């Protein structure tokens, strides 16, 4: 089974065969909506990160319960979709990006399954799966979609967007993208030894670009809606090869 985070309409019965909502008990509380079924012949668990009605802010998403639930369902890899802002002129809204690194600027999130008496010191020099990334890049190229790869995403706490000074600071650090949800998802998946790769859907230029209006939620949602069919197509087309790589008999 392959885990998919973000929703993005992938739980739509029109593209998912045998769609069924599931609920699991976790030591970390209630997880968000999970729908299991088959997409393009592959068993999947699709998790709506922000809840069935987008009720969770980036800071209040039950990340630990979500990742644990996908692990408990037997997901051998996780593909996540996340809106992001671009910090580089050449990374245009409407394109995809597949980061290989993140910088963590969150402040309020429990990022580890560490418990009293059991400290997890997880190496995370390579936080994302190069194998998953390679499959997604290859499929994106075959489909003719604009994308960048080997990028660095900075994850901020949210739910507010950046100040201009913050945006310029992240640009000076060499960051390419900015979002609100990759941390702690990537960290928790790493602790559970589950390969994870995020597809960043570029929606805006944050607030650094002089001749462009600063990012708004309306702008983000507009681009996300326009790109929803593309990300569905990308994930659906990539799933058979991902399944072959990560579910070897």
At 116 the pLDDT is 79
At 53 the pLDDT is 85
Lowest mean pLDDT among 27-36, 58-67, 141-150, 224-233: 224-233
> Could you list the residue range(s) of the whole structural domain that residue 166 is in?
2-246
Q: 3-state DSSP call for residue 112?
A: coil
| Distance of alpha carbon 187 from alpha carbon 80, whole angstroms | 13
Q: Which two tokens stand for residue 169?
A: 């600071």
Query: pLDDT (tens digit, 9 = 90+) per residue, 148-172?
Result: 999 999 999 999 999 999 999 999 9
DSSP-assigned letter for residue 243: H
At 11 the pLDDT is 59
Contacts 24+ apart (CB under 8 A), 12-15: 15/39, 15/232, 15/236
At 154 the pLDDT is 98
Of the candidates 12, 104, 204, 211, the residue annotated as catalytic is 204
Q: Is 146 a catalytic residue?
A: no
At 173 the pLDDT is 97
3-state secondary structure 43-108: EEEEECCCCCCCCCCCCCCCHHHHHHHHHHCCCCEEEEEEEEEECCCCCCCCCEEEEEEEEEECCC
Residue 15: CA count within 13 A, CB half-sphere: 20
| Distance of alpha carbon 82 from alpha carbon 97, whole angstroms | 10
DSSP-assigned letter for residue 132: H
Identify the band that residue 13 occupies on the pLDDT scale cut at 50, 70 and 90. low
> 181, 178, 150, 126: which is closest to 5 by C-alpha?
181
φ/ψ region of 77 (left if φ > 0, alpha if ψ in -120 to 50, else beta) reads beta
Could you tell me if 237 and 39 are in contact, meaning their C-beta atoms sit under 8 angstroms apart? no
Q: Is 104 a catalytic residue?
A: no
Answer whether residue 56 shows pLDDT above 90: yes
At 249 the pLDDT is 54
110: domain CATH number is: 3.40.50.1580
Query: pLDDT (tens digit, 9 = 90+) per residue, 97-109?
Result: 999 999 999 999 9
Count of domains for the chain: 1
Could you tell me if 51 and 33 are in contact, meaning their C-beta atoms sit under 8 angstroms apart? yes
Residues 184-210, mean pLDDT to the nearest whole number: 95
Find where tokens 């769609």 sit. 19
Sequence-distant (≥ 6) Cβ neighbours of residue 152 within 8 angstroms: 99, 100, 101, 102, 103, 174, 175, 176, 177
Q: What's the chain's average pLDDT? A: 92
Residues 192-200, mean pLDDT to the nearest whole number: 97
Beta-ladder partners of 2:
44, 77
Q: Report the chain's terminal Cα–Cα distance, integer Å.
A: 13
Of the candidates 104, 110, 146, 206, the residue annotated as catalytic is 206
Answer whether residue 118 shows pLDDT above 70: yes
């Amino acid at each position: 089974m392959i885990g998919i985070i973000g929703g993005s309409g992938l739980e739509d019965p029109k593209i998912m065969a045998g769609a069924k909502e599931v609920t699991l008990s976790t030591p970390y509380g209630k997880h968000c909506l999970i729908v299991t079924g088959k997409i393009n012949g592959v068993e999947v668990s699709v998790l709506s990160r922000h809840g069935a009605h987008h009720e969770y802010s980036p800071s209040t998403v039950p990340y630990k319960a979500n990742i644990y639930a996908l692990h408990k369902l037997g997901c051998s890899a996780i593909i996540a979709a996340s809106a992001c802002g671009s910090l580089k002129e050449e990374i245009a809204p409407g394109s995809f990006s597949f980061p290989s690194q993140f910088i963590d600027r969150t402040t309020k999130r429990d990022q580890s399954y560490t418990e009293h008496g059991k400290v997890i010191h997880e190496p995370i020099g390579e936080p994302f799966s190069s194998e998953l990334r390679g499959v997604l890049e290859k499929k994106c190229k075959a489909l003719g979609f604009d994308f960048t790869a080997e990028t660095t995403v900075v994850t901020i706490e949210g739910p507010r967007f950046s100040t201009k000074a913050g945006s310029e600071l992240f640009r000076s650090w060499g960051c390419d993208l900015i979002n609100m949800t990759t941390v702690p998802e990537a960290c928790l998946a790493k602790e559970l030894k589950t390969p994870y790769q995020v597809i960043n859907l570029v929606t805006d230029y944050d607030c650094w670009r002089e001749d462009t209006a600063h990012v708004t939620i309306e702008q983000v949602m507009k681009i996300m809606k326009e790109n929803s069919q593309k990300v569905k197509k990308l994930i659906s087309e990539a799933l058979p090869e991902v399944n072959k790589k990560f579910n070897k008999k």
